[in-house]
Amino acid sequence: QSALTQPASVSGSPGQSITLSCTGTSSDVGNYNYVSWYQHHPGKAPKLMIHDVSNRPSGVSDRFSGSKSGNTASLTISGLQAEDEADYYCSSYTSSSIWVFGGGTKLTVL
Amino acid sequence: QVQLQESGPGLVKPSQTLSLACAVSGASISSGNYYWTWIRQPAGKGLEWIGRISTSGSTNYNPSLKSRVTISVDTSRNQFALQLTSVTAADTAVYYCARYMIASRTFDPWGQGTLVTVSS
């Protein structure tokens, strides 16, 4: 069981918007704005998509956005494209001075 | 462009020590506001942060693995290493190395990962 809870799978059609959730506790997501999201295509290195809840690194499409409410962080992908099909992981810093991750969400573009 | 590449045995026997190295290119492992980090993913499960080492050599480990883990740096080779002792089948996983950027609190970049299987 992962420290952060993510839905196992989400699907959407090209052009749609989808939102992935990441639920933690008051000891991690709820207490720190240090939530990041990573995109992982199997066999490749995971790629940073969002950091500090809602900040997008240079080079990442503005179709990706992040937010947080209470103990739940969210990643929204708008204008879904085939290349967005991948696994997505969230992570958070914790009050135990370690980092925790979610179990990952497999995004399928129909 | 900074790149990381894991290397090491793909098969380790139970009770033995798992040893992996992460070669860093495009940046000096001994400078900058970074931590050098190991993360793993057992098959069908989520990611687990193993631990990190700073450029000054200080370490921090996941309490769940702390008694068995050592992370070290080899500045002459510009790489860092992971040792995990007394392994069991539960340690079978894809192991990733990553740079943790202190300023942005992110793991970036990551290596592609290496599968380590614990089996006799």
CB pairs under 8 A between A and B: 66
Question: What does the pLDDT read at residue A2?
Answer: 62
Which residues in chain B touch residue A93, judged by CB atoms under 8 angstroms apart? 105
Apex A25 CA angle, A19 and A27, nearest 5: 130
What are the distances in angstroms from CA B97 to CA A88, B21, B24? 18, 9, 10
Output Rg (C-alpha) for chain B, integer angstroms.
Answer: 14
The reply to whether residue A2 touches residue B110, judged by beta carbons under 8 angstroms, is no
Closest-CA distance, A4 to chain B, in angstroms, reads 9
Predicted local confidence at residue B43, as pLDDT? 87
Tokens of B31: 């400078």
Closest CA to B63 of A2, A30, A99: A99
Question: Taking CB atoms and an 8 Å cutoff, what residues of chain A touch B111?
Answer: 45
Query: In Å, how far from its chain's centre is CA A96?
Result: 21
- Paired tokens of A18: 């989808």
Q: How many residues are recorded in chain B? A: 120
Using an 8 Å Cβ cutoff, are B101 and B108 in contact?
yes
pLDDT at A3: 86
CA distances, B88 to each of A78, B16, B42, B93, B97 (Å):
43, 8, 12, 11, 21
**For residue A8, what pLDDT band results from cuts at 50, 70 and 90?**
very high
Measure A41 CA to nearest chain B CA, in Å. 10
**Closest in A38, A47, A99 to B49, CB measured:** A99
Per-residue pLDDT of B5-14, as tens digits, reads 999 999 999 9
Q: Give the mutation candidate from B24, B47, B107 for the A interface (greatest A CB count, under 10 A).
A: B47
The pLDDT value recorded for residue B89 is: 96
Does A93 contact chain B (CB < 8 Å)?
Answer: yes
Instruction: Write out pLDDT tens, residues B81-110.
Output: 999 999 999 999 999 999 999 988 899 999
Q: At residue B26, does pLDDT exceed 80?
A: yes
Per-residue pLDDT of B35-81, as tens digits, reads: 999 999 998 888 999 999 998 889 999 999 999 999 999 999 999 99
Residues near B81 by beta carbon (within 8 Å), at least 6 away in sequence: B19, B20, B21, B22, B71, B72, B73, B74
A37-46, B11-20, B98-107: range with highest mean pLDDT? B11-20
Give the closest of A34, A52, A98 to B49, CB-based. A98
pLDDT tier, A1 (very low <50, low <70, confident <90, very high otherwise): low
**What pLDDT is attached to residue B21?**
98
User: What pLDDT, on a 0 to 100 scale, did the predictor assign at position A42?
Assistant: 87
| A34 and B CB contact within 8 Å | yes
- Contacts by residues B64-73 (CB-CB < 8 Å, ≥ 24 positions apart): B71/B36, B71/B38, B73/B29, B73/B30, B73/B36
pLDDT of residue B104: 85
Put simply, the chain A residues between 58 and 87 with a CB less than 8 A from any chain B CB are none
Residues A71/A26, Cβ–Cβ less than 8 Å = yes
- Asked if A106 reaches chain B (Cβ–Cβ under 8 Å), the answer is no
> Given an 8 Å threshold on Cβ–Cβ distance, is A36 in contact with B47?
no
